[in-house]
Amino acid sequence: MDLLLEATRRAEAEHFWFKGFRAFVAPLVARAAAAHPPRRLLDCGCGTGVNLPMLAQYGTAYGFDLTWTGLKFAKDHGTRRLAQASVVQVPFRSEAFDLVTCFDVLQCLVPETGRQVLTEFHRILAPGGHLVMNVAALELLRGDHAVLAEEAHRYERGELHAMVEAAGFHVERLTFTNASLFPVMFGSRWWQRRRGLKPAAEAHGEISIPSAPVNQVLAGVLRCEASLVRRIDMPIGSSLLLLAQKR
């Protein structure tokens, strides 16, 4: 996981995927904040902490991560409300937060553990609070990146919907994202599986920034898709983006 965090830290400011991710996520966070104005927000598995300033626009933002490497990077963003902990046992009291986020963490756990994590998120949310979550989608997109990210399971849409509802949430929005890049990703990851997946130490190129013209074009494509996702759900993609409210 440290290899992933180090590669992410180098790329997250400029890489087209991270720019697209923020374009997809920010409107859902804003929607949740408008519906139930938060005072305390928590990013679970905050990684390098790059998303905490976005959350801090709406209230007091906290974060925790399992890795010390992630927390060291998070401090570089000026964030001090940090803890080292696991999403399986969140070290905060019940109903402590109004908005909880969790980005690209659940796929690193087997589904049974994922159910426990969703129960923890439900516990720490105040009544009416919201969960915004992003997870890797579709096992047919498993490739070298899955090794680097230590993915245990990529989710189907219906599967994730059922898990979140069973944990005591009402799903308000659930859509695929990165649909515009799906054909390219499907082809490249099919080839990676066919020739054999690289070990994590050799897969860091999955998060390297492409040439400037290519990076700009792909970032623009994802921004356009993000504008569309504000109005309609995508039928397929490499990620699932969810907004749910605690019942």
**Percentage of residues in the chain with pLDDT exceeding 70?**
98
Contacts of 233 (CB under 8 A, 6+ apart): 173, 174, 175, 176
- Give which of 159, 173, 65 is closest to 115, Cα–Cα: 159
Based on DSSP, count helices (H) and strands (E) in the chain, helices before strands.
9, 7
Contacts of 118 (CB under 8 A, 6+ apart): 163, 164, 166, 167, 169
Strand partners, 170: 245
pTM equals 0.94
Contact criterion met (CB below 8 Å) for 55 and 44: no
Tokens of residue 195, six digits? 């020739």
Contact criterion met (CB below 8 Å) for 22 and 101: no
137 — pLDDT class (breaks 50, 70, 90): very high
List strands edge to edge, sheet with 82-84.
82-84, 60-65, 40-44, 97-103, 125-136, 239-246, 169-177
CA angle 53, 57, 61 (to 5 degrees): 60
pLDDT in tens, 82-132: 999 999 999 999 999 999 999 999 999 999 999 999 999 999 999 999 999
Taking each helix axis from N to C end, the angle separating 212-229 and 16-35, rounded to the nearest 10 degrees, works out to 20
Which is higher by pLDDT, 214 or 3? 214
Residue 66 DSSP one-character state = S
pLDDT in tens, 154-202: 999 999 999 999 999 999 999 999 999 999 999 999 999 999 999 887 8
Distances (CA, A) of 17 to 9, 61, 189: 13, 24, 16
Does 3 score more than 70 pLDDT? no
Contact criterion met (CB below 8 Å) for 25 and 83: no
